[in-house]
Structure 1
Amino acid sequence: MKVRKLAALGAATVLAAAMAACGTDDDAGGNGNGNGNGEWPDEIVLGLVPSQDVDELVEDADVLADLISAELDHPVRAEITQNYTALVVAMQTGQAHIGMFGPIALVQAADQADANVVLQSIRRGTESYHTQWFTNNPERFCQTDVVEAENPEGNTVSYCNGTDAAEFGPVGDEALAEVEAGETIMFVDEGSASGYYYPATQLQAAAGLDPFNDIDAQFGGNHPNAALAVQRGDAEIGVSFDDVRNDLVEEDPAIGSDLVVFAWSDEIPNDGVAVAGDLPQDLQDAITDAFVAVIETDEGLQAFDDVYSIEGLVPADLDALDVARQVAANFGD
């Protein structure tokens, strides 16, 4: 199966496409061309992409950058980019030295920006996650009774089609067959693995719909916005990481029951950390060690949790990222 990637939004995406032509097809780890003898940049730039309110992310990212800076004993500055495509461009052009990427963007950073993927995130004790599909119209997409349950975070949320009891995806493929041609679907971002690539791939397999020509794909910009858009009725179905409702329930307790999760995608390798491949090797190693050292402290663990709900960091699984590369290839990336 191969599908054609839509023209992405914004000037940053156009720039990325142009510069990608100069990229390479190295493996998921980049080319490892740090020579260990070069000068460290005066300031190291850590690039991040919003998955929450931008103002809040700026504050959280600054805290994380300060902790990494203290561990490295070298200045580190956090920068928030518009999306993953813009962050790949920043890595290509030397405007960012470290990037925290979703899995699709990780392999794009390796292939297009010669970055080295060094670490992957741990959440809920696992190195993988999945897309959740949710709806404000359970009568249409729930083939079983809606179940209200308390999730691991202690929030009451609604499920159907077995998503309350499953441990791994995929789940609920049969319900996706209910998606009709012309359906409005609220995705997250065109560079997001769980918010676009994986669910669009799943939709084509389950419903036989071309995600570029047969549906009305809308993008919320981040995971909470996609959920809120479906809650207010902009679309009947949408996607996010599992479970974005936890990030919204404090300000809107009704969202746990307003949005019913009815399907999951295949498992997706967790997001991770890439470093610029042209940095001196001693700096690449020092950055990797600093991330691990910071998250092993109470303050650092809180900072990583605040930024991206990360509970731990492990060496990158390059074989798992090759699967993400294959999904990206279906989209012509």
Structure 2
Amino acid sequence: MGFTIQRSFGVAALAATTLVLAACGSSAAEDTATADSGSGDTQTLVFASIPSEESQSLQQEYQLIAEVIEKETGNKVEFQNATDYAAVIEAQRAGKVQIAAYGPFSYVTAKDTGVETTPIASLVDAPDETPGYQSYAIVKSGSPIRSLADYRGKTICFVDPGSTSGYLYPSAGLEEAGIDPATDVTPVFAGGHDASVLAVMSGQCDAGFAYDSMVDQTMVSKGQIKPGDLDVLWKSETIAGSPVAISDSLSPELREQITSIFQTILNRPALVEKGYCTDEASCKLPENTDFGYVAVDDASFDGVRKVCEITQAEACKS
């Protein structure tokens, strides 16, 4: 799989990154003309996701979700991949995205900078599970780098400035180890968690960060890496699960309908019961989750806000 990594020489350079979302082309804009002039409802619901894997793979991950939303609401759903995390935030701010799959930090950034959006659901592997995951610090097996303190002076792969497990928590971890993530390492932003892993594997980065299941499950199951290829040197505390958030500009009726779809239908047992899948094994949901979505609210992400408050991490300030 090909990918492009972006070397960064400081936070100021990141602010200049052009924000582009493929969904915001003329056809999408035309399709999302309001169907009801009295509300923000649209004929086409644009569903955008932060980058995580290669575009084709990510679109397939959300195909069943789009189909269910289309059938249940009667609205067309157009899934779009963003070029970076900030693109999703700015597209939803501009009203060009109605449903967004965020990371926890990118959601907090969106909400706390005035994007009118509400989190409704996160993925879990069991119905009684609290949504959450961890950030991993990774090196190629056999690397002389054995701790975060050894990252000093090295080329380090992060995911994106708006990534929770690919930048915020790693930045906090590095700072706790006495490493300034902006000046004590050469940061590289790979764009996706899988791209970060592959850059470490290829030697483009001396070490890096990615979220747990990408390292432990997803890339192994796809044959992109083998068990034992990577050493995990550090694990973050548990991070709130990545949310799906919907635009507050939609009518209360449509918001309630979409919320109900995620919280009551988009899980393996319900999808089988309603005939969307022949059996639970055939239900294709993001991250190969064993269950599906459960409800979350804004307070679920106060832990991310607390990390920013305590650490004053540069990622939070930018």
TM above 0.5, yes or no, is yes
Equivalent residues of 2:196, 2:209 under 8 A apart: yes
TM-score (norm 2): 0.77
Question: Structure 2: 5+ residue runs without aligned partners?
Answer: 1-9, 21-37
Residue equivalent to 1:313: 293
- The counterpart of 1:132, out of the listed 129, 136, 150, is 136
- Provide Cα deviations, 1:234-256, integer angstroms capped at 9, x if missing partner: 22211111032322224547532
For 1:178, the aligned partner's letter is D
Equivalent residue, structure 1, for 2:49: 48
Partner of 1:225 in structure 2? 195
Equivalent residue for 1:290?
Answer: 261
Confirm or deny: 8 A CA contact 2:124 2:130 kept in the other structure: yes
Instruction: Quote how far apart the aligned CAs of 1:81 are.
Output: 1.2
Q: TM-score, structure 1 length as denominator?
A: 0.74
CA-CA distance at 1:219 after TM superposition = 1.6
Picking from 266, 289, 295, the partner of 2:237 is 266
Higher RCO (C-alpha under 8 Å, 6+ residues apart): 1
The structure 1 segments of at least 4 consecutive aligned residues displaced by more than 6 Å after TM superposition are 300-304
Structure 1 residues 186 and 73: CA distance shift in structure 2, 3 A: same
Q: CA deviation at 1:277?
A: 1.4
**Tell me, what secondary structure is at the counterpart of 2:67?**
helix
Counterpart in the other structure of 2:183: 213
- Cα 1:303–1:220 change in 2 (3 A) is farther
**Could you tell me the percent identity over the aligned residues?**
26
**Residue type matched to 1:177 in 2?**
A
Q: Tell me how far 1:287 sits from its aligned partner.
A: 0.8
Deviation for aligned residue 1:278: 1.9
- More deviation in 79-88 or 113-122? 113-122
Contact 1:60 1:303 in 2 (8 A): no
Asked if the contact 1:90/1:96 (under 8 Å) is kept, the reply is yes
Return the alpha-carbon distance in structure 1 between the equivalents of residues 306 and 255 of structure 2: 27
1:194 is aligned to 2:165: yes
After superposition, the C-alpha distances for 1:78-117 in whole angstroms (9 at most, x for unaligned) are: 1211122101111111100111100011112222312112
Partner Cα separation in structure 2 for residue 192 and residue 303 of structure 1: 30
Question: Is residue 280 of structure 1 aligned with residue 251 of structure 2?
Answer: yes
Question: Tell me, which stretches of 5 or more residues in structure 1 are unaligned?
Answer: 14-36, 143-174
Conserved in 2, the CA contact under 8 Å of 1:186 and 1:235?
Answer: yes
C-alpha distance after superposition, 1:123-149 (max 9, x if no partner): 46441111011112546344xxxxxxx
Instruction: Give the 3-state SS of the residue equivalent to 1:209 in structure 2.
Output: coil
| 1:284 Cα deviation from its structure 2 partner | 1.0
Q: How does 1:1-333 map to 2 (within 5 A)?
A: 5-8=11-14, 10-12=17-19, 38=39, 40-112=41-113, 113-123=115-125, 125-136=129-140, 138=142, 140-142=144-146, 175-180=147-152, 182-206=153-177, 208-245=178-215, 246-250=217-221, 252=223, 255-292=226-263, 293-295=265-267, 296-298=270-272, 299=276, 306-310=285-289, 311-328=291-308, 330=312, 331-333=316-318
Cα deviation, residue 190, structure 1:
1.5
Q: Which amino acid aligns with 2:305?
A: R
